[in-house]
Structure 1
Amino acid sequence: MIPTILAWEQHLAHNRRRSVHTVRAYVATAHRLVVFLGEHWGGAVSTEQLAGVTAADLRAFLAFRRTALGNTSAARELSAVRGFLDFAVGVGATPRLRGPRVKRGVPRPVSPDEAVALAEDVAESAAEPWLAARDWAVLMLLYGAGLRIGEALALTGAVLPLGATLSVTGKRAKTRIVPLLPQVREGIETYVALCPWPIERNVPLFRGAKGGTLDAALIRRSVQAARGRLGLGDRTTPHALRHSFATHLLGRGADLRALQELLGHASLSSTQIYTAVDAAHLLDVYRNAHPRA
């Protein structure tokens, strides 16, 4: 069974181009499933036996896992199980099973003033000027260009010198071109000028205090501390800045297809969630401003 899981891991990483985190999570699910089936069936599980997995077996596995998972995580677990069984046994051989109902959350954007205030507070709390410039540049890439935190930290010195656009590699190694606002470009250039570490083409653009790769957890912790000082909600995270970028563009008339390209979404359905954000915002304006609301 281990060779099958290893082959599944290679398939996810190289053929499907899944992220390291996704591969790790899906492989862990495959291991959990095999261990569970071994105990459930009372013996070692072979690849051939996986063809005999029934809907009842899958329901039993999910019931076993539900003590540790919410609806969203359970749905992801079932998706990983389906993918593994389809790979091991053959597409279409896995019994279909309705997953848990997942309520799709609507992103909570922050206002432009809040986004800038958050970035300023994070920068002002930095220990050194070059670290302040770094944190400001990273957060401005999230809000001003719609990058994911991982995409911003994956940039290398090859993006220099900066132009009017930036080439970004996102999920599944998909590359997209995003425009750089003058303020965002100026923020990055200021950081580059102050950074004490040489920024070569093949090294990370954003460096840690000791010259290594900047850890996303550090940015998240800085944002968490800043939102507490500013009185912002718990959902004000680095990713919320990307949501805000999308929502504000949509509110100013951006086309959904264009927004899909800017965000690097694989499908339009992923982008359409922002229409709900805009509608919710309009409803809030109506309720707060209309005399008969």
Structure 2
Amino acid sequence: MTASPASGGLTDGLRMAIADWLDLERALKAVSENTITAYRSDVTGWLSFLMHHHGDGFGTGKIADLTITDMRSWMASERARGLGARSLARSLSAVKTFTRWIAERDGFDATGVLSARSPKFGKKLPRPLTADAAQDMISTVELQSTEPWINTRDAAVLTLLYGCGLRISEALSLTGKDVPLGEIIHIVGKGNKERIVPVLPVARRAVADYVRECPYNLEANQALFRGKRGGALNPRLISKVTERARMQLGLPSTVTPHAMRHSFATHLLNAGGDLRAIQELLGHASLSTTQAYTAVDTARLLEVYEAAHPRAKNA
């Protein structure tokens, strides 16, 4: 079989296997296009390494012969080129998912690949803003552009992230049919999972201000949040305006649009919110993901304890 230049030099058989697998992931698991892109890159990189490692004759049939030594060689190569443990673990997960599928399709034992152990890495805990800092971010974002409607747009997006706990992709997926916002909105998040999210009056007002000032006709089936030229707003623009605002406020680089969502969850937890209710509001598939906020809260309490408790100070 010939190699395809567009697929890292892979043979047609390998390239077609990846395409078939990704089609199945889309159809059965409702995997997002961003995840599909990452999967394709991870598996193509792995197979390209194996082609160079084993020679040009490496095709789909050779995957059955792979050993744990092959996997360790690939992982060592990835680390040598600077890939972090977290990114390597993600790549290995994609490789294993692909290998399980092709092993079932072609009927072979994939133990050599599946027995590879994921590298250990420390989980990054969310770093929320204080309530005052979150409000300062929204107010400062509202002063970045010379065009008033863009300022109200950016403030509305950040208000949805902090006031409703939305992911930036979820906020930017709203369309003209979603306005005016009611007391609740239906959000379709990761894995095509739908959830109901309450909308605070301040968020409804922020979006209403944007709708009133936006110079474009916000059709029902088109993006609610628009870019300067009228197309759907690019999330990178929100990241950039957030970066400018946090630098002006002297806040750390961890203050990103996603940090506003983290802050929503942490502030609810600090106010006595139920962990499972917060899980539903955030759209987390697993409670363990939401429990990261418990660790954040505990860390904050320990800091207060160590700074204030007489026994702790005298220890």
Which category of TM-score, normalised to the shorter sequence, fits these structures? over 0.9
CA distance in 2, matches of 1:17, 1:55: 31
SS in 2 for 1:178: strand
Q: Which amino acid aligns with 2:46?
A: L
| Partner residue in 1 for 2:48 | 35
CA distance in 2, matches of 1:234, 1:99: 28
Aligned-residue offset at 1:292: 4.1
- TM-score normalised by L of structure 2: 0.90
| Partner residue in 2 for 1:271 | 290
The aligned runs of 1:159-198 (5 Å cut-off) are 159-198=178-217
Q: Which amino acid aligns with 1:48?
A: G
SS in 2 for 1:166: strand
CA distance in 2, matches of 1:259, 1:241: 15
Aligned-residue offset at 1:236: 0.7
Aligned-residue offset at 1:285: 2.1
| Partner residue in 2 for 1:55 | 68
SS in 2 for 1:90: helix
Q: Which amino acid aligns with 1:242?
A: R
| Partner residue in 2 for 1:133 | 152
Is 2:89 aligned against 1:70?
A: no
Unaligned segments of structure 2, at least 5 residues: 1-13
Q: Which amino acid aligns with 1:57?
A: D
- TM-score normalised by L of structure 1: 0.96
The question of whether the paired residues in 2 share the 8 Å contact of 1:8 and 1:27 is answered with no
Q: May I ask how many residue pairs the two structures share in their alignment?
A: 293
- Answer with 1 or 2: which has the greater Rg: 2
| Partner residue in 2 for 1:147 | 166
Instruction: Calculate percent identity across the aligned residue pairs.
Output: 47
Unaligned segments of structure 1, at least 5 residues: none
Give the one of 224, 229, 234 matched to 1:215. Answer: 234
The aligned runs of 1:184-263 (5 Å cut-off) are 184-263=203-282
| Partner residue in 2 for 1:280 | 299
CA distance in 2, matches of 1:110, 1:289: 22
Give the superposed CA RMSD: 1.4
| Partner residue in 2 for 1:124 | 143
The question of whether the paired residues in 1 share the 8 Å contact of 2:177 and 2:220 is answered with yes
Is 2:40 aligned against 1:23?
A: no
Aligned-residue offset at 1:163: 0.9
Aligned-residue offset at 1:45: 2.5
The question of whether the paired residues in 1 share the 8 Å contact of 2:43 and 2:91 is answered with no
SS in 2 for 1:283: helix
The question of whether the paired residues in 2 share the 8 Å contact of 1:109 and 1:241 is answered with yes
CA distance in 2, matches of 1:16, 1:27: 16
Is 2:29 aligned against 1:10?
A: no
